[in-house]
Structure 1
């Protein structure tokens, strides 16, 4: 069973996280945090899209705005 967990470790350390080793040795803070900025931009775009969709449903009056959302409350 330990070989199974060592296999998982090998997969993540040597293959999936290998691109991050490149960023670790850069001397620039901006270059080192490139992936963080990319994820933040993706998150911001997804948030803006989601809020836009909520506004569309709110403007159409499709949103259920009753005080209790469940019958047992």
Structure 2
């Protein structure tokens, strides 16, 4: 049973965490390149927020949004 858990630990440490070790070493030389994935996610979130805001404005212009507090029975 001990060999099973050691093999499991070896799988993660020796193989699956290698990209994380590479990013950790890369951060010492180039912070921007090491965090490129974070910047991609930030840009995706900004794009989603802009799209969502535009859609909210479209519904507001068409008077299709319901902004009263009695929209749900538990609020009124």
Supply the distance in 1 between the matched residues of 2:33 and 2:52 (Cα, whole angstroms).
29
Q: TM-score, normalised by structure 1?
A: 0.67
Number of residue pairs the alignment of both structures matches: 70
The 1:38/1:20 distance shift into structure 2, 3 A limit, reads farther
Is 1:31 the counterpart of 2:33? The answer is yes
What are the ranges of 5 or more consecutive residues in structure 1 without an aligned counterpart? Answer: none
- 2:42 corresponds to which residue? 40
The Cα RMSD (Å) is 3.1
- 1:67 corresponds to which residue? 69
What are the ranges of 5 or more consecutive residues in structure 2 without an aligned counterpart? Answer: none
Say which one has the larger Rg: 2
